[in-house]
Each structure stands twice: as C-alpha cells, then as structure tokens.
Amino acid sequence: MNDAQNELEPLQRLIIAYAKSADRDRYALTFALDARFAEIIRSTSEILIGQMRLTWWRDILTKPAAERPVGEPLVEHINLLEANGENLAPLFALLDGWEVMLDDFPWDDRQFDNYARARGCGFFDFALPGREALTEGQAETARAWALWDFARHCSDANMRASAFDRSRRILQSRQRTDFDRNGRPLSILCQLMIRDVRKGQLAPDLYSPASAARIIWHGIAGR
C-alpha cells in the first residue's frame, strides 16, 4: 500500500513500521484516511462545502466496490481491504468524528464526547486486527487519544486547553490500557500521549530525535 503510505507524515510511517507485516496495509489506510478527513476540515471555510466533501466519502463507504469511482488510490485500497474481509463499519464512526469538527467553537460536553468517541473508537477499532469490539479500557484510551490529538492541532487556545484537560482526566481516572503485539502502533501513539499528559504540556515536536528513539525502543521492546 505504497500510495497510502506516501500520504503519511514521517512520524506515521515510522509508527506503522512496527505493525506486523500482515497488518501494515490496514494501519496505513487508517492513518491515511484520518489524515485525508483532517485535510478536508482544515481546508474548508464553508460548512456546507465541508459536509459535501465528507458526504462523498460516506457514499464511497456505503456503495459496493463495483460502484465506487476509480482513480482515487485510497478508494482502491478500501476495495482491496474489503475484498480481504475487512469490516468498514469503524470508518463510518471515524467519519462521524471528523464531521463534528464542522461545528462552531466553543463546544459543550456533548460535542467533545461525540467527537472523541466517534473519531477515537473508529480509528482504534479499524486499526486493530481481529473482529472483536474494543474493550472498555481500549475505548476510553481511544477517546483520550482523540482529544489529545485535537489539542495538538487546534489553533483555538481555549478549545486546545479544554481538549487536553479532558484527555488528561480520562487517563488519570483509569488504569493503563496495554495493547498486545498486534496493537503496537496504537501503543506507540498512546506512549506519546501519556508523555505529554505526565509533563502537563503538549510537546512542540513529536518527531524530535529523542521522540524517535523512544518510539524505536517501544516498537521493539514494547516498554
């Protein structure tokens, strides 16, 4: 899935390098679709246009493979994974989460929760191999990750602080949730999140030499 990986940032490519070889295509598509939806939100100045662009992807996921348009590499990769038995349902949740981002700021508790649950659980659920649903602990960790990632990319200072605080509260209210070898890329993401929460601030650069070294060590040893 070179086309999907080409859409990823260097940090994301490093992270999925620690997935099992059989799982890398699915992880790459998860990261790439999440990034594509993020770009739609970033580049949208009119809510209606953003809704139309996200609806195009919802239609893609709804249609049978034979009715999907050709020429879009990510659509072709969706087709390949679906043909191999992958369940696309979590991607609808991921899309729902990004659609919440079209709501005007500031958000209330309901909007934060809808965003975090849909995007976080959709992302983690599709990325993880197997067919079982996320455990309660994994789902809560997914919500915390979505809020942390929101905080990392939000330009609104009040919303950024609120999202980061909500992520921190989720993590501090639960015991640490571990992922097995199949979920190593998600475990790496969680390590980056936990580091920020422990320090009480968002690291300015996740892809620093020190961060890369920690990622490599955790990717190999799981610690």
pLDDT tens for 28-83 read 999 999 999 999 999 998 999 999 999 999 999 999 999 999 999 999 999 999 99
- What's the rounded Cα separation, in Å, for the pair 99 and 115? 8
Cβ–Cβ < 8 Å for 110, 166: no
Residue 4: is its pLDDT beyond 80?
no
Residue 207: is its pLDDT beyond 80?
no
- What's the rounded Cα separation, in Å, for the pair 66 and 80? 12
- What's the rounded Cα separation, in Å, for the pair 102 and 219? 35
> Residue 63 CB: number of other CB atoms within 10 A?
12
The distance between the two most distant Cα atoms of the chain, rounded to a whole number of Å, is 49
Run of H or E residues at 81: helix 73-83
- What's the rounded Cα separation, in Å, for the pair 101 and 222? 33
Whole-model pTM over 0.85: yes
In tens, the pLDDT along 155-178 reads 999 999 999 999 999 999 877 677
Identify the pLDDT of residue 65. 96
- What's the rounded Cα separation, in Å, for the pair 111 and 18? 33
> What architecture (CATH level 2) is domain 2-221?
Orthogonal Bundle (1.10)
- What's the rounded Cα separation, in Å, for the pair 118 and 99? 10
In tens, the pLDDT along 116-153 reads 999 999 999 999 987 678 999 999 999 999 999 999 99
